[in-house]
Structure 1
Amino acid sequence: MKKTKGFTLIELMVTIAILAVVVGIAAPNMGMFITRQKVSSQSSELATTLAAARAEAARTNQDIVVIPAADNTNGWASGWCFGPTAIDNCSHAAVIKIFGNIDADQVEISSPYRQSSNRLTFRRDGTLLNSIGAQAFKVTSSKLKSSSTDARCIQLNKLGKTNINKVAPNANC
């Protein structure tokens, strides 16, 4: 009697059933993982932007502003840019670098810094123009669990250096 190579239909059906159970368990967790990664990525990109703007101010020996793409408290979710103090929006010709949000419908970035007033300005020595009033950025998502510490606060000190802290999505920075 010849032995045939391959899988039987029953073996194949059992394998597919096991795979379906594993995918059913992993899929909901994958969505939360992606959201957490997007919040973390946006936090890192914003902190890197702040450090680059600070370095640019020192390198060029001029004041540099970092402004949101939209002029409101949640305008940072649409992206941001930096350039000399003459810029008043991210379409200005003198803008040095523009950054866009990866997924504005999932990640929320809020800060009291705006385009027109209360602008985030680094002096030519790299310190904040208004160091007493240094404000925090909050990066979060409505999809994060309220019991988690997956949201981020980006704090600026008076020297213009950034610090990222993990916080609850509903906590204040």
Structure 2
Amino acid sequence: MKNTAGFSLIELLVVIAIAAILGSLAVPSFQGLIASSNLTSATNDLMATLARAKSDAIRRGKRVTVCMSADGAACTTTGTWTQGWIMFNDDSHPDGAAAVENTTDITAITAALTNNIVVKAKSSQTYFSFSGDGQAKLMNGGSGAGRIRVCSTSSALTNDTRAREIVINWVGRVNLEKPTGIAATCPAPT
């Protein structure tokens, strides 16, 4: 039996079967590519916000803070960084808790993350501030290193490729590390 294009029905079925096999081989690889891209994008967004906060603090000569924010208007101390974050000029609290006094002080907003991305820091690290000299200031005016883990829960990534850690040292330098052996539950960094 021939169809009008000159192909037999058997030839057409063979082509469809080969296409289905090739498609089934490509899907897992494509899912891994998408998950990796989502992880990279979220990591770059947070790193850029932190780098900009440090730069703005030095330029202004005053404190700039990046904190967790569920609503894009105020800092929160509950939940994880996955709910989003804001950057704001923190002139009112040079050595104290991070708090937005006026919404006009907010200079950047990142909405809640999706696509199996989880962002966690230690429970005590709900914000990071940079003083006018660029040094990092942690909660309660302390200084020292901070660590935020950006992680994908996607099964398309392995435990050695699913996470990135952003490390902020006391002088305010923002570095990227690639930890290995991170479970799909994406625990907070230690």
Give the TM-score range, shorter chain: 0.7 to 0.9
CA shift for structure 1 position 59: 1.4
Which letter does structure 2 place at the counterpart of 1:99?
T
Segments of structure 1 that go 5 or more residues without pairing to the other structure are: none
Give the 3-state SS of the residue equivalent to 1:160 in structure 2: coil
Moved more, 71-80 or 150-159: 71-80
**CA gap 1:56/1:6 in 2 versus in 1, 3 angstroms:** farther
Which letter does structure 2 place at the counterpart of 1:40?
T
Tell me which of 74, 83, 102 is aligned to 1:78: 83
Tell me which of 142, 151, 154 is aligned to 1:140: 151
Q: Which residue number in structure 2 is paired with residue 161 of structure 1?
A: 173
CA shift for structure 1 position 45: 1.0
Identity within the alignment, %:
27
CA shift for structure 1 position 48: 0.8
TM-score normalized with structure 1 length = 0.81
Quick check: 2:65–2:88 contact (8 Å CA) kept in 1?
yes
Alignment of 1:44-123 (within 5 A): 44-70=44-70, 71-72=76-77, 74-85=79-90, 86=92, 88=99, 92-103=103-114, 106-112=116-122, 113-114=125-126, 119-123=127-131
Which letter does structure 2 place at the counterpart of 1:136?
R
TM-score normalized with structure 2 length = 0.74
Q: Which residue number in structure 1 is paired with residue 21 of structure 2?
A: 21
- Point out 4+ residue stretches in structure 1 off by more than 4 angstroms: none
CA shift for structure 1 position 25: 1.7
**Deviation per residue, 1:68-103 (Å, 9 max, x gap):** 1142464310111111114625x9332011112441
**CA gap 1:162/1:42 in 2 versus in 1, 3 angstroms:** same
Give the 3-state SS of the residue equivalent to 2:136 in structure 1: coil
Counterparts of 2:78 and 2:66, CA distance in 1: 14
**CA gap 1:6/1:60 in 2 versus in 1, 3 angstroms:** farther
Give the 3-state SS of the residue equivalent to 2:106 in structure 1: coil
Quick check: 2:119–2:151 contact (8 Å CA) kept in 1?
yes
Segments of structure 2 that go 5 or more residues without pairing to the other structure are: 71-75, 93-97
Counterparts of 1:96 and 1:22, CA distance in 2: 48
CA shift for structure 1 position 57: 0.7
Quick check: 2:135–2:172 contact (8 Å CA) kept in 1?
yes
**CA gap 1:67/1:159 in 2 versus in 1, 3 angstroms:** same
Give the 3-state SS of the residue equivalent to 2:105 in structure 1: coil
Equivalent pairs counted in the alignment come to 165
